[in-house]
Amino acid sequence: MIALPPTVADVMAQARALGVDRLDAQLLLARALACARSWLLAHDDAVLSAPQWVALQAELWRRASGEPLAYIVGEQEFHGLRLQVNPNVLVPRPDTELLVDWALELLDAAVPGPALRKVVDLGTGSGAIALAVKRGCPGAVVTATDVSAAALQVAQANALRLGLVIETLAGSWWEPVAGRRFDLILSNPPYIAGGDAHLAALRHEPTLALTPGRDGLDALRTLTCGAAAQVEPGGWLLLEHGFDQHEAVQAMLRKQGFGAVHTRIDLGGQPRCTGGCR
């Protein structure tokens, strides 16, 4: 039990007792008090009102039970964009910025040569990849798809709020873009194996976003198999994958006739994205 009304120091002690990370607790506290995190450090004895404490306590419990901070605060920063998120979408990961950087390099390299500008992001979730590419390369014509209508709503709302114009289409992998060709095809599909113990820790995020079941490679197979018919000559396919899947993905790309196949390493030193040129 903590004394009421609680001070900033009391709340931090309570958060620690619950097992909530110090930084997360400070972020939630700063949000509750509508102040900067730095202000908290110098105001240990500031007091919360009863409604502030009731709301914050509920948030600390949610965080303690493993719910991502992004769902609690309703947003996540990705590649310099503030994206709104909810439990219908994967929380965009910093690792995925690698895919965006690679895409932007390719789009940049295409200027002033033949324009590499029709881009599709398959399985867009919050719209993270599609919107970061559109912001980084306003001349690109960007399409974003998802099989989840609820996820697509989040992507559409983010696009609207950020003033970024992209096309959004509902449907499974290639189906919503059948018969169309793109210069750049991007995807961070679900790739965790069905029986992976890691899934338990991710239980607050949509299973559909995390795992295609079995060995984790089914979505990557569908994407590489269909890509040859949907990519323009000279266009690229870039895929995010698990740390131990790069050899499998490289083999899939080569089998489909892609050249210049190579893998990039994420900030954690893991092979994270593989791409090839048609």
Q: Which residues sit at the interface with ligand GLN, rule CB under 6 A?
A: 93, 95, 188, 190-192, 202, 210, 240
User: Considering beta carbons, is residue 52 or 222 the nearer one to ligand SAM?
Assistant: 222
Q: In sequence order, what are the residues at sequence separation of 6 or more whose Cβ sits closer than 8 angstroms to the Cβ of residue 40?
A: 8, 26, 29, 30, 33, 46
Tokens encoding 134: 């559109």
Beta bridge partners of 273: 240, 264
Residue 245 interacts, among ligand SAM, ligand GLN, none and using kind-specific CB cut-offs from 5 to 8 Å, with none
Answer for which of 70, 151, 217, 237 binds ligand SAM (CB under 6 A) is 151
* Residue 198: CB minimum distance to ligand GLN, A: 6
Residue 131 interacts, among ligand GLN, ligand SAM, none and using kind-specific CB cut-offs from 5 to 8 Å, with none
Answer for which of 56, 69, 90, 223 binds ligand SAM (CB under 6 A) is 90
158 Cα distance to chain centroid: 13
Answer for which of 28, 209, 223, 261 binds ligand SAM (CB under 6 A) is 209
* Residue 121: CB minimum distance to ligand GLN, A: 13
User: Considering beta carbons, is residue 129 or 261 the nearer one to ligand GLN?
Assistant: 129
Residue 147 interacts, among ligand SAM, ligand GLN, none and using kind-specific CB cut-offs from 5 to 8 Å, with ligand SAM
Could you give phi then psi for residue 162, rounded to 5 degrees?
-90, -5
Residue 192 interacts, among ligand GLN, ligand SAM, none and using kind-specific CB cut-offs from 5 to 8 Å, with ligand GLN
* Helix-then-strand count for the chain, H and E: 11, 9
User: Considering beta carbons, is residue 106 or 129 the nearer one to ligand GLN?
Assistant: 129
Answer for which of 190, 226, 242, 275 binds ligand SAM (CB under 6 A) is 190
Return the closest-CA partner of residue 28 out of 41, 37, 19, 39.
37
Q: In sequence order, what are the residues at sequence separation of 6 or more whose Cβ sits closer than 8 angstroms to the Cβ of residue 201?
A: 66
Could you give phi then psi for residue 236, rounded to 5 degrees?
-120, 150
Tokens encoding 155: 């992507």
* Residue 216: CB minimum distance to ligand SAM, A: 11
Round to whole Å and give the CA distance between 38 and 20: 19
User: Considering beta carbons, is residue 191 or 258 the nearer one to ligand GLN?
Assistant: 191
Region near ligand SAM per CB under 6 A, out of 12-20, 38-46, 185-193, 267-275? 185-193
User: Which region, left, alpha or beta, applies to residue 17 given φ > 0 means left and ψ of -120 to 50 means alpha?
Assistant: alpha
Beta bridge partners of 236: 184, 277
Q: Are 252 and 221 in contact (CB under 8 A)?
A: yes
Q: Which residues of this protein are in contact with ligand SAM, per CB under 6 A?
A: 89-90, 92, 96, 122-126, 128-129, 145-148, 151, 172-173, 188-190, 208-209
